[in-house]
Amino acid sequence: MPDRLDGLALLCKKYELQELTFLQFIFFAQEDRIMSLIKETYFKDEAAEVAKDNQIAVIVTGGNCDFRQMEQLLNTTGIGYFGMARPFISEPDLVNRYQKEDSERTRCNSCNGCVTKPGRKCIQDQNS
Ligand SMILES: Cc1cc2nc3c(=O)[nH]c(=O)nc-3n(C[C@H](O)[C@H](O)[C@H](O)COP(=O)(O)O)c2cc1C
Ligand code: SF4
């Protein structure tokens, strides 16, 4: 496990004893990850590593744009949940789309245009 995760893993063990129910990996501020269209699910490696050694439910948030990748991570790692923020700005009905087994990539491309737009609207929406 990389050094930077050692402390986190130890912290998880401590929280585990205190019956913490979940640990969520969220990443927003670091531009090279948040803006990346290639490196999706920015925290997947760190989250999977911590989930491997802990009983705490692990949620990974940030860059979840590909349903099939989430499904694969769910089936092959200890990551149990996926958080999504900007994809719901762009597609408020995304869950319904997934329920209909329409698992195309999210319309959101992580461009961050909504962050500074009044009303936090997706810049792909005309007249918004
Ligand atoms: C408009 C907007 C507001 C946000 N506000 C918060 C916040 O108040 N607290 C927080 O922890 N994260 C906040 N975030 C970060 C998200 O929770 C999330 O970590 C980030 O957008 C990466 O996930 P995503 O790729 O699914 O958007 C915000 C994100 C956006 C786009
Ligand atoms: S402006 Fe739209 S595409 Fe860009 S990050 Fe926001 S929701 Fe996603």
Neighbours of 80 (CB within 10 A): 15
User: Measuring CA to CA, how many Å separate 61 from each of 24, 70, 104?
Assistant: 7, 11, 19
Domain locations in the chain?
3-120
- Whether the model clears a pTM of 0.85, i.e. scores above it, the answer is no
Ligand 2 pocket check for 123: Cβ under 6 Å? yes
The residue ranking higher by pLDDT, 52 or 26, is: 52
Give every CB contact of residue 71 below 8 A, 6+ residues apart in sequence.
103
Band of residue 66 on the pLDDT scale cut at 50, 70, 90: very high
The residue ranking higher by pLDDT, 112 or 6, is: 112
Closest CA to 109 of 127, 123, 128, 99: 123
CA-closest residue to ligand 2 atom 2: 122
pLDDT in tens, 75-102: 999 999 999 999 999 999 999 999 998 8
Q: Measured in angstroms, how far is the CA atom of residue 86 from the centroid of ligand 1?
A: 7
What confidence score (pLDDT) does residue 83 get?
A: 93
The terminus-to-terminus CA distance of the chain in angstroms comes to 45
The residue ranking higher by pLDDT, 1 or 70, is: 70
